[in-house]
A = this chain, B = another copy of it.
Amino acid sequence: MKARVHVTLKPGVLDPQGKAIAHALQALGFDGVNEARQGKVIELDLADDVAGDPEAVRARVDDMCRKLLANTVIETYRIDLDA
């Protein structure tokens, strides 16, 4: 089973990378990019014995996010589960 965790900066938190990307796109002649924000996706491949009940898996991945994958001071996260 695969879980995909999207980690993004909280709204309002400065995103220097995003800012630079928007700027670079503009310099390359791509007009009309109002804003760019950069986040991470972490794809986890979970062993079958761990998988099973999606709610349990979700709770487990949520725990991973809070403990390691996201820095909740400045980031938020979203979990997608793949069958």
Residues of A within 8 A of B (CB): 6, 8, 18, 21-22, 24-25, 28, 30-47, 49-50, 60, 63-64, 67-69
Q: How far is the CB of A73 from chain B (nearest CB, A)?
A: 18
- A31 vs B46: C-alpha distance when bound (angstroms): 9
Interface centre among A32, A35, A68, A69 (most CB of B within 10 A): A32
- A60 vs B28: C-alpha distance when bound (angstroms): 12
- A24 vs B60: C-alpha distance when bound (angstroms): 15
- A24 vs B44: C-alpha distance when bound (angstroms): 13
* Residue in B30, B31, B42 whose beta carbon sits within 8 Å of that of A21 in the complex: B42
* Residue in B33, B36, B45, B47 whose beta carbon sits within 8 Å of that of A36 in the complex: B45
